Amino acid sequence: MSLGPIMLDIAGFELSPEDEEILRHPAVGGVILFSRNYHSIDQVENLIANIHRVRDPHLLIAVDHEGGRVQRFREGFTLLPAMRRIGELYDHNKKSAKSLAEKVGWLMAVELRSVGLDFSFAPVLDIDYQQCAVIGDRAFHSDPHAVYELAYAYIKGMESAGMAAVAKHFPGHGAVTDDSHLAIPVDHRAFDTVMLNDVYPYRMLIKNNLTGVMPAHVIFEKIHPQPAGFSSYWLKNVLREQLEFNGVIFSDDINMQGASFAGENYADRAHSAMQAGCDMILVCNNRQGAIDVLESLPDWNNPVTNMRLARMHGRKPITRTQLRMLAKWHETTDLVKRYVDEPTIDFRF
């Protein structure tokens, strides 16, 4: 059975009979885990193994595990720094900062791979304009070239651990004040400004075979009237044609308020995002909404999307025992601890 275009969530620490039934639906292609799905390394490893047993090829399993405020699994995992900390180092020593970014990317990825997880929705490419609290220190830097260089190094580390990257939030979420979890943000800037600054890191990383992109639930009112994640202009004309991106386009969660532009009906939201150019739709924290979407896609099949999604499977399997025998793991965890701050906002759902 091929992977479907829907990524959804589950409620607890293990699969329920209803979960297993839903995950067998042909339109399902992945599962996103949250902090509510984690209480120990052994537990989450078993959960991931059981999800993988449901289908062949196995469903993709993802998580938001950026570091700083957004790190779903904490106890038993190395606490990762906010990306701004790496950007601060960049201002003093570019070489050291890029080395740190690569090591953090590797550490994040290899620890998740050691429990069987396929990928994290990272890194954030938003430019830090110091306007958007929901982005804030999740961004590497205010300089687009610095964002590109640090993200390139971070992705290099991820890839060395066998994990594909998903850059977000295209074309940029950093210049708005509203949080798209709670509102529909509107960016008032001109096309040339957005392309020159916010899109620059994407353009450069796409040239280096970026695997995945997640668009923002942000309206760029002077450019196109729909949020980027529901805009064929942004996804097909700009991302696919102008930037020549050939990887996976993941929607942001259509349960967010920023997705309400596409209507109250979740099936309508999902179809709008797919028609705009998204390959995989995230439907989180709303089981009935997810069921409605699945029921609207009984016979879905898209060979191109299947090929793209297959590239998101984790590679280079490693056990936790093997990981902890690596001198690189011990050295990297010791290094990373120096850059970790206590998070001020908790994004655990």
Catalytic residue numbers, as ranges: 181, 252
Residue with tokens 């110091």: 130
CA dist 33 and 54 (Å) reads 16
User: Which helix (H) or strand (E) covers residue 168, if one does?
Assistant: strand 166-170
| Residue 136: DSSP 8-state | G
DSSP 192-230: HHHHHTTSHHHHHHHTTT--EEEE-S-EETTT-SSBGGG
Do 8 and 283 contact (CB within 8 A), yes or no? Answer: yes
Q: Which of 118, 29, 48, 50 is nearest to 309 (CA)?
A: 29
Cβ neighbours of residue 190 under 8 Å, at least 6 residues apart? 222, 223
- Coil, strand or helix at 293: helix
Tell me the three state secondary structure of residue 118.
coil
Measured distance CA(345)–CA(141) in Å, rounded: 19
- Residue 331's CB is within 10 A of a number of other CB atoms, namely 11
